Amino acid sequence: MPYSAHIDTFTGDNLPPLAQQPEFLFDLPELKFPERLNCAWPLLDQHVAEGRGERVCIQAPNLRWTYADLQERANRIANVLVKDLGVVPGNRVLLRAPNNPMMAACWFAVMKVGAVATATMPLLRAKELKHVITKARVTHALCDLRLAGELKLAAAECADLRHILYFNDTSADGLEAAMAKHSASFDNVDTARDDTCILAFTSGTTGQPKATMHFHRDVMASCVCWPPHVLRAVADDIFMGTPPLAFTFGLGGLLLFPLSIGASTVLLEQGAPQDLVDAIAKYKATVLFTAPTSYRAIAPIAGPLRNSSLRKCVSAGEALPAATRALWKEATGIEMIDGIGATELMHIFISADEAHALPGATGTVVPGYVACVMDDNGKPTPLGEVGNLAVKGPTGCRYLADDRQAKYVKDGWNYTGDAYSMDAEGYFHYHSRTDDMIISAGYNIAGPEVEDALLRHPKVAECGVIGAADEERGQIVKAIVVLRPGNEPTPEMAKELQNFVKQSIAPYKYPRSIEFVTALPRTETGKLQRFRLRLTNQGDHR
C-alpha cells in the first residue's frame, strides 16, 4: 500500500477503478513532486519561512493580511479543527462563504490538517447542499454566518455532519472566539502527494452534480502549468475577479496562483460591473479573472481601465466570442487571455497569451498537457475537422463513486464534452458543447457561432442560440436575445438581426426564430444554461 496520511480513508476508497482513470503525464521537470506533499507549505508557509512573511497576501474592504497574517489565521483554525472539532486526516470539511479572507484562511486550515476541502457555491439551497453533504460524506463544516440558513436546514437531515462552526461571527461560540483560544502555530499533517485534498463539485448543467477528486499534487500541478507558461504574472501583481472560490476557476485564479508566486489577491464579495471597475481602481489590480459575459457587461463602463493598473484579463468558463474580445479591446486597449478549463482537470489546459491570441480560437495546448480532436470512434480527426476534444496531462478526471467516469475518461483520455477543431498552427477552435450542436435540415450548426454573429450587432446585449424542434427541418436555429437598453423588441428588430446575421455567416445558419427576453438563465459561474432555454422552447414553432 502506498503511503497516505489519511486515517479516514473515504476518498481513497472511492477513487474510480484504475482502468477507468485517465493517463497522467508528468514530463515537465516542475511536475516531479516529492512523495510527501502538503500544498499549504509551498503556497503559504514557505513564503513565511523564506522571509516573505511581511508581503501583502490578501486584501478585502477594510482589510489587508500579509502572508504571516494568513498563516497565523490558518494555523489557529487548524488547531480549532483538530482540538475542538476532532477532525482527522481524510475527513471532508464543507466550506461555505462568499469570496472573503476568512474563507481563504479556512481553506488553508483544511489543507494543513490533511482533510478534504469541499467548498460550496454561496447560492446553493438546502436541497443541493444536502446532496453535496451526503455524496461527500461531510463530517464538519465551516460557514460564513450570513449563509447559515440553508446549511442549518440541510444539516438537520444529514446525520454525519455533526460539527458546524460559523465565521465572520462575533459571538462567543463563533469560529473567531475559538481561534483566540488556540496557538498561532501548527505542524502541517505530512500528507502524500496523492492524498485527495479537495472535492470539487461540477456545476451540473444536467443531472446530479458530480464530485471530482484532486490530490495535493494536482493543486500544485495547476500552479506550474498554465500560470507560468501563459499568464506569466509576477510577485508584484495584484489579482482580482469574480469566480467563486468554490469553483476551481476562482480557487486557482484568485487564491492558488497569486500565492504560488508570492503575489497578492483581492477578495470581493460583490462582482457586479461597477463594483469591479471601482475595485480595480481602488486596489490597483493588475490581473483580472472573470467570465465572457462579465467582460461584455463591464465593457460599456470600462473607460477608466484604459491605461490603468490593469494589464492582464483572463476569460474562461465558456467560449469567448470574437465579438466580445473585440469589444473589450476597443474599450480598454487590452487583449484578453482566453483559456478552457474544467472542474475535472482542475484548471486551464488550452489557452493563448495576449501576444498569441487568435480571435475565435481558444488557443494552443498548455505546456504539460496534450490535446487531440477525436471522431466518435476515438480516432484523431483530420486537421480542421470538428470532433470531440480529448485531453491528457498532469491533472485529470476522477469522479467520486460515479458511473459517469466511464463517459468522461476513455482510453486514458479526458473527454470534456466539447466539439472542437484544430488548425495547422495547433490552435483549437471551439464550436459548441457536443450535446448542443444544432442539426437543421441535415446541417450541423454550432450555436456559439451564431451568437458571435448576433453579438456584433450594436443593439444586442446578450444572446443564446439553441435548436428548437421543427417538423420540417428537425430543428431550426432559434435565438433568444436581450437588447441593449433603449431598443424595442419588435418584429422589425427581429428582421434586422436576421439580415445582419445572414450578411456575416452562411445564410443557412441564421436564426429563423428570434425571441426577445430581459435576461438569460445563467449559472453562478456565468455559464448560459442552454438546457433551460431548450426546455422552454420544446415543440416551439415559428
What is the size of the binding site for ligand 3UK (CB under 6 A)? 24
Q: Is 342 in the site for ligand 3UK (CB under 6 A)?
A: yes
Q: Is 203 in the site for ligand 3UK (CB under 6 A)?
A: yes
Smallest separation, CB 435 to ligand 3UK (Å): 10
Is 165 or 533 the residue whose CB approaches ligand 3UK more closely?
533
Q: Is 53 in the site for ligand 3UK (CB under 6 A)?
A: no
Q: Phi and psi for 420 in degrees, rounded to 5?
A: -135, 160
Query: E strands along 226-345, which residues?
Result: 238-241, 264-266, 287-290, 312-315, 337-341
Q: At what angle do helices 126-135 and 148-155 cross, to 10 degrees?
A: 60
Q: Are 266 and 240 in contact (CB under 8 A)?
A: yes
Q: Phi and psi for 128 in degrees, rounded to 5?
A: -70, -40
Q: Is 249 in the site for ligand 3UK (CB under 6 A)?
A: yes
Q: Is 525 in the site for ligand 3UK (CB under 6 A)?
A: yes
Strand 370-374 relative to strand 387-392, pairing: antiparallel
User: Which listed residue (38, 79, 139, 248) binds ligand 3UK by CB under 6 A?
Assistant: 248
Smallest separation, CB 148 to ligand 3UK (Å): 26
Q: Are 362 and 430 in contact (CB under 8 A)?
A: yes
Is 319 or 461 the residue whose CB approaches ligand 3UK more closely?
319
Q: Name 27's Cβ contacts closer than 8 Å, sequence gap at least 6.
A: 368
Within residues 173-202, the interface with ligand 3UK by CB under 6 A covers 202
Q: Is 339 in the site for ligand 3UK (CB under 6 A)?
A: yes
Instruction: Determine the interface stretch with ligand 3UK among 32-40, 60-68, 166-174, 339-347 (rule: CB under 6 A).
Output: 339-347
Q: Is 287 in the site for ligand 3UK (CB under 6 A)?
A: no
Helix (H) or strand (E) holding 109: helix 101-112
Residue whose C-beta lies closest to ligand 3UK? 341
Within residues 299-328, the interface with ligand 3UK by CB under 6 A covers 316-320
Q: Is 449 in the site for ligand 3UK (CB under 6 A)?
A: no
Smallest separation, CB 253 to ligand 3UK (Å): 7
Q: Is 123 left (phi over 0), alpha (psi -120 to 50) or beta?
A: alpha
Q: Is 418 in the site for ligand 3UK (CB under 6 A)?
A: yes
Residues in the chain: 542
Three-state secondary structure call for residue 119: strand
Instruction: Determine the interface stretch with ligand 3UK among 353-361, 416-424, 459-467, 530-538 (rule: CB under 6 A).
Output: 416-424
Q: Is 369 in the site for ligand 3UK (CB under 6 A)?
A: no
Q: Name 187's Cβ contacts closer than 8 Å, sequence gap at least 6.
A: none
- Report how far residue 413's alpha carbon sits from residue 370's, in angstroms, rounded to the nearest whole number: 10
- Report how far residue 162's alpha carbon sits from residue 238's, in angstroms, rounded to the nearest whole number: 38
Q: Is 393 in the site for ligand 3UK (CB under 6 A)?
A: no
Binding positions for ligand 3UK, rule: CB under 6 A: 202-203, 248-249, 316-320, 338-343, 347-348, 362, 416-418, 430, 433, 525
